[in-house]
Every structure is written in structure tokens, then in C-alpha cells.
Structure 1
Amino acid sequence: MFSGPGTEPGSTPDAAAAPRRPALSPSRAGDFKQCPLLYRFRAVDRLPETPTKAQVRGTVVHAVLEQLYALPADERQPDRAHAMIAPTWERLSAEEPGLTAIFDGESVEEQLAAWLESAGGLVDGYFELEDPRRLQPEACELLVETELDSGVLLRGYIDRLDVAPTGEIRVVDYKTGVAPREIGEAKALFQMKFYALALWRLRGVVPRQLRLMYLADRQSLAYTPDEAELSRFERTLDAIWTAILRAAPTGDFRPNKTKLCDWCSHQAICPAFGGTPPAYPGWPEPDSGDETILERAD
């Protein structure tokens, strides 16, 4: 069984409070890989994007599961998790008032009730996949940050880190959508390899397992990386960062038109769709690598 004390190596209050230079997160690396202009819009211009009900619901469910593991093991019951859903939504919407924009028009109370019930369904999906009473994670929502030999600074948040008494590491990521097809699965594994590489560089141990838990359809996917694979992935991240820095002085982040454009919030200002981007504001300081709470729940 994976278990361990509630410490968080790799993340200290002093480190978190220190000034931070531009970093690469799984979301931003994935953005650039998908479309350099999307990276610019999100990391440099910081253009607002209207969240979807599914994104915000995922954020709420992630927060509930984090709180669940703060309870004593024998109290991690479905009814306790369900009781956390509405208060968690109230807290998050108070901290980020823009989240309430997901409900509009008439019957807002009915919309909210149905939406909270759907969040409860995802929580039920989690309990079908594993029994949290049998687990003692080392950390939940763990900030990991490490610098590669090339100078690339990696930064990201891991949903859950399990460490076995034998020292084996398991990285767990909750997905609140259904298990993806080929493109979605590749994106999810990219994110998990990012975390595996960061942990390998921080601790000198390759995670034994990367586990993706798809709560909507009650499926769990496990993947075992190795050193050779993570070394190749490190070179991929080096190449992505080199390309970002090459475009950074002039803002030459070009669009890459694919089927994924159908889900982009920025088509109106994208040259690939006849739009005009805003004037380039220059390379951001001190940090372009942060993930939002919505992205962490992706």
C-alpha cells in the first residue's frame, strides 16, 4: 500500500514566497506544443477566458478530494465528501466571483442544484475507484519546482503524491471528464510525464506509477515511466523552452490551426481565422509559468 507522513518535500513556505522567474508548467508547455499563439495569449497577454461549468465543477471536486484527505482516515466517507461540495463551491466563488458567470438566465437556483448534484456524481465515481481510508498520501496539491541542467525551470501542482514504505512513488491525477480518446490521452500523459520528470530531478527516484483517475466513467489508467523515456521527455521540454525564448523578444508566436481550434476562446483575434492579436506587451516578468486553479483541475 502507498502511505507515508504528511510532509511535502520540494515545496517549502520560504521557497513559495521567494521571487520567481519565468517557468514552464504542464499547461503552458502543452499550450505551446499545441499552438504557440495560444501560449502567448495565455502566458504573456494573460487574456481572460470564460470558464465552463465542467471546468469549475472539476475545480470544486479537486478541492473536495484535497479536503477529504485532510480528515482522519476513518472519516473519509462518501457522506462527508458530499457534505463538502456546497461549502467548497461557496468558498471558491467568494474567492473568485467570476466563477458565478457559469450560471446565467433564469432558474439559476435550479441550475446550481443540478450542477452540484453532478459534482456529487463525480465524487461517487472517485469512491468507486478506490477507498481513501486505506491511503495516507504524502501530499495533496503539491507544488513541485525544479531546474533542469539546461536551465529550464519546471513548476507544477500534483493532485496527489503517494509514497510506499519501500520508497516507491505514485503520482495520482484526478480527471473529471470521461476517459479520452487518443489526442486527450496523449495530452494527459504529457502532463504526467512532466510531473514524473520533476520528481525524478528533485528526489532522484523515477515514479513507479503514474495513475490517471477518470471519475466520470469510473476508469483508471496506469502508466510506468522509465529513465530513458523521461530523459527523452526532458529534451522535449528543453526544445519547447528554447523555442519560447526564441519568440519572446519579438512576440513571434505563430498560430497552429488544428481541430483543437474549435474549443479555443480566442478565434476572434487569431490570424488563422482572420483576426488581429493585441499589440505584443513584451516578455512577462517575473513569472509566466503559473497554472490557475481551473488548470490544475484539468
Structure 2
Amino acid sequence: MGQLGFDFGIEPRPLIKVTPARLSLYDDCPRRFRMTYLDQPAPSRTGPWAHTTLGAVIHNALRELFALPASERTPERAEALVSRHWRSGGFADAEQVARYAEAARRWTADYVERHGADAEPVGVERWVSATVGSDPASPSLIVEGRADRIDAHDGELVVIDYKTGRTPPSDEHARRSRALALYAIAASRTLRKPCSRVELHHVPTATVAVAEHTDADLNEHVQKAEETAAASRAAADKLTRGGDPDQLFPARPAPRCAWCELRSHCPEGRQAVPAARPWDLLAPTT
């Protein structure tokens, strides 16, 4: 007698592993997503961008600083850490390098003076992960990534993302950030504490943009993440079967094409806007 069992002819859906960065890149420009994650060999990129260099320096300094006990998180220590991590890739000349090195030390020290003493980090560049789905009974995604900082506040978690760009983000930017929303869900699952508050900390101005998410907000972000993940996987599967890469992953020309590190491989991007100089996106020093 054969083995008894049940077969309804339904294959379970494979979970799609995603990071907020991959989802955002596909939404911004499918062609850039393809060239970044799928093309082999990977296409050549432009040289370093000064704003990226500056952001990495400040992120590295704050990572080390907030791993220290609160008594050691001083503005002077912040300045020293910026100097330790300083790099000059992408800047126009030695004068600009010196001006931004000084500005970065000042910005980071001021930020720590205003926001460092009361912080209670429970994770610094903490890797978090969660299985999620708009239907809790049938999850579709594994969301994972590294959050800049996760604080504890009144028994709940707060996800913090550092920003160093030209313009301070608003509370609306924090609310609309899919990355922060997904990190909030993943942090809650990983650290087993509630998390609804997310913050964007703009270091050059020491300002903080805040959003308090509801369950409905978070579920909406998950639904959009599912749509993006499904679309990118479907396009990648068709590409593997021999589909046309330019049709499956079209360019989406926009102002950001000016500083895309892959614009030399994209005629539409080059036609859309002139190339930016490597230092054009730096935050003003005054």
C-alpha cells in the first residue's frame, strides 16, 4: 500500500530576500539596479564622489563614538574620530579638502553636543532581519540590512539613520522612508521590543526629523516592498531566460542621472542632464 499523504498541487512561494537599498534602487532606476546587482562582469563606475566620501567619514566616526560609554562620547572625541577616518576622494582641491575636513569635525562635534549625551544605543550598525508579508499567514519577504543606530527609549526601540546631504530632511521624509519603516519592523523582530519611531539625523545642521508609525503605515510599506521585490525578481527571471535587458530593466531618466556612477553606460541618462562635478552635492559649509 502506498504512503498516505496530501498533495494539493500548490508549491509554496519562495521567500524573496531583500534589503531596503536594493528595493530603493529598483524603484529609482531598473537599469541601474541591473548594472549594480545582475550584470557580469560588473560595468565600470565613475571615480569617487566627495559627498559619498564625507558621508562615509562621518558615519564611521559616529559608529565608533556611539559604541563607547556615554561618558566618553564627547565633542572632542567626535572631532578626533573624524580626523582619524578622514579621506579626500572626490574633492576639488586641497583647499576644499581642508575646508570640509574642518566642517566635518565641527558638524560632528555640534551634533554630539546636542544629541550624544542622552542617547541609549542598543545597536550600532546592527544587522537586523525579519520575515514579513502583507498577509501575516503567508510571508513573502526576508527583509534585512544594517541600521546606523538603534536606541532604546521608554521601553521601545528607535531606528536612527544619519544624513549628511545638502538639505535637512523633514518629518515627511522620515515618514515616507521605506528603509526606515522596514528597519523598524526588522529591529522589533530581531531585538524583541516594539519599534514605531524612526528618525533621520542630519549631522551638518544637528537637526532631527521624526516619524511615529502606526501598524497601518508599516503594513503599507511592506505592501510596496512586496510589489517592488516581485517586479524585480520577475524581470531578473526573464533576463536569465534570454530576455532583452533594456526592455526588462529600462532607464528612468531623472535629475539624479547627473551623479549616477554608471551614467557612462546609459545614453538616456547622459541625454537627460549634464554630468555633475564630484563635489556638487556637498552640504554647504556655512
Paired residue for 1:117?
A: 102
Distance in 2, matches of 1:180 and 1:129, equals 17
**Match status 1:254 vs 2:242:** no
**Match status 1:174 vs 2:159:** no
**By how many angstroms is 1:123 displaced?**
0.4
Pairing of 1:194-273 with structure 2 (within 5 A): 194-202=182-190, 205-249=193-237, 250=239, 251=245, 252-273=248-269
Residues 139-182 of structure 1, C-alpha deviations (whole Å, 9 max, x = no match): 11111122325342222111111123x52111111111231479
Paired residue for 2:19?
A: 25
**By how many angstroms is 1:111 displaced?**
4.2
Paired residue for 1:81?
A: 78
Question: Greater strand share, 1 or 2?
Answer: 2
Structure 2: gaps spanning 5 or more residues: 1-14, 134-138, 240-244, 272-286
**By how many angstroms is 1:26 displaced?**
1.6
Change (3 A) 1:209 1:123: same
**Match status 1:37 vs 2:31:** yes
Paired residue for 2:56?
A: 59
RMSD: 2.8
**Match status 1:134 vs 2:128:** no
Paired residue for 2:47?
A: 50
Q: Identity of paired residues, percent?
A: 27
Q: Check whether the contact 1:148–1:201 (CA below 8 A) recurs between aligned residues.
A: no
Task: Determine which structure has greater relative contact order: mean sequence separation of CA pairs < 8 Å that are 6+ residues apart, divided by chain length.
Answer: 1
Distance in 2, matches of 1:186 and 1:243, equals 25
Distance in 2, matches of 1:88 and 1:273, equals 33
Residues 255-290 of structure 1, C-alpha deviations (whole Å, 9 max, x = no match): 122333233233332253589xxxxxxxxxxxxxxx
**By how many angstroms is 1:209 displaced?**
1.3
Which has the higher Rg, Structure 1 or Structure 2? 2
Alignment-mate amino acid for residue 267 of structure 1: R
Q: Check whether the contact 1:69–1:76 (CA below 8 A) recurs between aligned residues.
A: yes
**By how many angstroms is 1:69 displaced?**
1.9
Distance in 1, matches of 2:200 and 2:143, equals 21
Alignment-mate amino acid for residue 197 of structure 1: I
Q: Check whether the contact 1:61–1:122 (CA below 8 A) recurs between aligned residues.
A: no
Residues 87-131 of structure 1, C-alpha deviations (whole Å, 9 max, x = no match): 223xxx6xxxxxx54257xx64x443323112113203413541x
Q: Check whether the contact 1:75–1:133 (CA below 8 A) recurs between aligned residues.
A: no
Alignment-mate amino acid for residue 63 of structure 2: E
Alignment-mate amino acid for residue 120 of structure 2: Q
Alignment-mate amino acid for residue 51 of structure 1: P
TM-score (norm 1): 0.71
Paired residue for 1:153?
A: 142
Q: Check whether the contact 1:82–1:120 (CA below 8 A) recurs between aligned residues.
A: yes
Change (3 A) 1:101 1:61: closer
The count of residues paired between Structure 1 and Structure 2 equals 240
Change (3 A) 1:23 1:272: same
Choose which of 64, 69, 72 in structure 1 pairs with 2:66. 69
TM-score (norm 2): 0.73
